[in-house]
Structure 1
């Protein structure tokens, strides 16, 4: 049953939708949402923010008579303070705080582009962007794998085959370096500095970092030896059922598929590639690594982001409480 806040948000958005019937079709190079999306540095970021703008458009058109809107059909330059407050109220009633704040960031970005394009006054833009962030926390998503599970995944890799050598190197890098899926598939052979057992990783926002391989170096060397006859620059390549290496870069989806097959073969509970990154961070913290060092290793801009990946749970709190036990 909808709450009073939800009902109010729906009414506000319905009024906003009636007011926002498009009155003109701007050229594509004058449409603020397209200019905003083009300003983002990664394809993944553009997809995420496009989804956020579509969600806002859906809220604006909920229950209205002028049909469902998407990001391309919203007259963003006509949004004013009352509209953006209605959007915020509707989003807060429906989504988790982190999702709401991402959508509000996208909305502010579009409105500022409308101002730069001369479609909004500075005063209207400032008022429409004056949106309080959503507060609150949800239980963290994902999990950290146990060490035994990681070993089981590696055990499911048949090292006698090229696919097994590649998969073992892939698991080792995800676990030992905490790489994101996009970072793994973007790696080239020349990014591997064998003499230093390190990788040059291109992270989010064009930020580069050095990832030290530790125990992953041997697995990576074995994979490189098995694919030495292939001249393609990408570090990880697809392999068909006949164990033949393809001359193209592995995709994000392929990484997910490989991990799911290994999990099924090893009897490991389902997990995501990002859970391996959570495992990397959690186990480093659990074994006493300095949080700021872990932050740099993970490629996070803020240590608070690194803390969100910590899955040590209540056991850590129990052990900490024991430190204060009076003797």
Structure 2
């Protein structure tokens, strides 16, 4: 076969772009942000202007030290992972020596941990969110209730929620096939009211093929295009304001799902599978039982203090 048969219009030689192209959409966004923060530390407003292939061991160690001054260990280590990935691609592209790449690979992460970010919503807050959706008799009310059902009742990530199509939904088993991180698929099941919320939305939406959660115009017309992850964020913020619920993120709804399920069942393995976690250690981070036990033990101490105001 002649070499002419293998020509491409453009072959990417930027190690950052090659590295990011190998990640999922969400991973790409996250790691691009990490690399942008590195570029900012080095004085570059636009990370594309940085010659990443000239990165060396001493640069990476200095970046680690600078980040550790203000960032959590997990953030520092994720940034180091991104830099290792860029170095690996630079080596594969012939832009970095194997020795320089291995030195960068050898930069160790930092130790330490922080309490998990976010929170689990209370029963009253969840009820309030569903109540404001019920008071909205437009299609958006039904859609947002279904959205809440998928996030709170099935533990989906918002990107997973936005990517769902009607083909993913099985009305007989009330199950949904979800494609999560790493292009891994899992089955989740709609129970305890989540099934009814989704059925009500589909009744409103219709059974035609396409995105499960559709955009709804201000005049109430349901569009064929699907809702985006950013639109989900905005819709939840709107419903939270209407219900006067304290600030929460879409991931807090996933945290609520996991927390309640672990509390009720204690089955970490099953919750891990429903959440789509690669390892059970990630799921353990959602377990609130340890905190409750700590609070109970702390309550065994009695201090003989009398309030001066009572």
1:145 positional shift: 0.4
For residues 59 and 150 of structure 1, do their structure 2 counterparts lie closer, same or farther at Cα, with a shift above 3 Å needed?
same
Distance 1:70 1:100 in 2: 20
1:70 positional shift: 3.6
The answer (yes or no) to whether the contact 2:167–2:209 under 8 Å persists in 1 is no
1:277 aligns with 2:254: yes
1:110 aligns with 2:86: yes
- SS at structure 1 position matched to 2:141: helix
For residues 111 and 319 of structure 1, do their structure 2 counterparts lie closer, same or farther at Cα, with a shift above 3 Å needed?
same
Deviates more, 1:45-54 or 1:192-201: 45-54
Specify the alignment match of 1:50 in structure 2.
32
The answer (yes or no) to whether the contact 1:278–1:311 under 8 Å persists in 2 is no
TM-score by length of 2: 0.87
Distance 1:176 1:34 in 2: 37
Segments of structure 1 that go 5 or more residues without pairing to the other structure are 1-26, 62-67
1:272-312 CA-to-partner distances (Å, cap 9, x unmatched) read 11100000011111113311111111000011111223355
1:262 aligns with 2:239: yes
Segments of structure 2 that go 5 or more residues without pairing to the other structure are 1-9, 301-310
Deviates more, 1:306-315 or 1:144-153: 306-315
Specify the alignment match of 1:202 in structure 2.
179
Specify the alignment match of 1:74 in structure 2.
50
Correspondence 1:56-95 to 2 at 5 A: 56-61=38-43, 68=44, 70-95=46-71
1:188 aligns with 2:165: yes
The answer (yes or no) to whether the contact 1:144–1:311 under 8 Å persists in 2 is no
1:176 positional shift: 0.7
Correspondence 1:11-22 to 2 at 5 A: none
Specify the alignment match of 1:31 in structure 2.
14
Distance 2:227 2:170 in 1: 21
Distance 1:36 1:189 in 2: 33
| Correspondence for 1:315 among 292, 303, 310 | 292
Distance 2:150 2:57 in 1: 48
Deviates more, 1:79-88 or 1:313-322: 313-322
- SS at structure 2 position matched to 1:270: coil
1:134 positional shift: 1.6
1:69 positional shift: 5.3
Distance 2:74 2:87 in 1: 20
The answer (yes or no) to whether the contact 2:119–2:252 under 8 Å persists in 1 is yes
Specify the alignment match of 2:106 in structure 1.
130
Deviates more, 1:158-167 or 1:78-87: 158-167
Specify the alignment match of 1:171 in structure 2.
148
For residues 202 and 320 of structure 1, do their structure 2 counterparts lie closer, same or farther at Cα, with a shift above 3 Å needed?
farther
Distance 1:69 1:82 in 2: 21
For residues 212 and 288 of structure 1, do their structure 2 counterparts lie closer, same or farther at Cα, with a shift above 3 Å needed?
same
CA RMSD of aligned residues (A): 2.1
